Amino acid sequence: MLKPSVEAILNRQIGVESAASYKYLAFASWCDVEGYSGAAKFLYEHSDEERMHMMKLFRYINDKGGKSVVPAIDMPHQDFKSLKEVFESAYQNEVEVTESINQIAALALQEADFTTYNFIQWYINEQLEEENLYRSILDKFKLVGEEGNNLYFIDVEIEKLCKGSSNPATGAES
Ligand code: OFO
């Protein structure tokens, strides 16, 4: 059985992952409308991944005898000044999610809940990868700049980071 404090923080994380999925959907939609089709594809795919992260928590809580709660989600910010601002926001989101995951790991240890501590390691590794990924995208803006055709080339490079494209609704793999 999950301790109430662990169940509560895992349910909080369901909300964090769901909100992340919506934020990425908003990022993707902005890129789609502005003609950055590569970035849109990548971000739609990432939105689907965040939903998968949410579902993994959802199942874990119920499997451990707790009760997963479907969260209310605030409308995400949807207007951006530039493609770079979209990716700065995405990076900032990842930093905040990492902090939230770290709090779960700390609580699981404090409560001697080693099963949850073990479960949350997957998210710790995932956050490391995602922070690095978004930092590497921001580096592209620094390296080539945003003048002339450079945004087009950045968009093409971002599309190369997609993992697949089998979701007919979004162009992203589910
Ligand atoms: Fe859920 O992985 Fe990023 O936020």
The alpha carbon of 85 and the centre of ligand 1 are apart by a number of angstroms equal to 18
**Which of 162-170's residues contact partners 24+ apart within 8 Å by CB, and which partners?**
162/38, 162/41, 162/42, 162/45, 163/45, 164/45, 165/41, 165/45, 167/44, 167/45, 167/48, 170/28, 170/44, 170/45, 170/47, 170/48
| Residues sharing a CB contact under 8 Å with residue 26, sequence separation 6 or more, in sequence order | 76, 77, 78
Answering whether pTM is above 0.75, one says yes
SS3 67: coil
Q: Is 126 in the pocket of ligand 1 (CB under 6 A)?
A: yes
Domains of the chain: 4-68+81-166 (1.20.1260.10)
The alpha carbon of 142 and the centre of ligand 1 are apart by a number of angstroms equal to 24
Nearest ligand 1 atom to alpha carbon 130: 3
Report d(CA 77, CA 6) in Å as an integer.
30
| Residues sharing a CB contact under 8 Å with residue 157, sequence separation 6 or more, in sequence order | 38, 140
Number of H helices, E strands in the chain: 5, 0
Residue type, 153: F
List, for residues 29-62, the tens digit of each pLDDT value. Answer: 999 999 999 999 999 999 999 999 999 999 999 9
The alpha carbon of 32 and the centre of ligand 1 are apart by a number of angstroms equal to 21
The alpha carbon of 93 and the centre of ligand 1 are apart by a number of angstroms equal to 8
3-state secondary structure 143-162: HHCCCCCHHHHHHHHHHCCC
Q: Is 20 in the pocket of ligand 1 (CB under 6 A)?
A: yes
Which amino acid residue places its CA nearest to atom 3 of ligand 1? Answer: 94
Nearest ligand 1 atom to alpha carbon 93: 4
| Whether residue 165 has pLDDT greater than 90 | no
SS3 111: coil
Percentage of the residues of the chain whose pLDDT score is greater than 70: 94
Which amino acid residue places its CA nearest to atom 1 of ligand 1? Answer: 50
List, for residues 75-133, the tens digit of each pLDDT value. Answer: 999 999 999 999 999 999 999 999 999 999 999 999 999 999 999 999 999 999 999 99
Q: Is 50 in the pocket of ligand 1 (CB under 6 A)?
A: yes
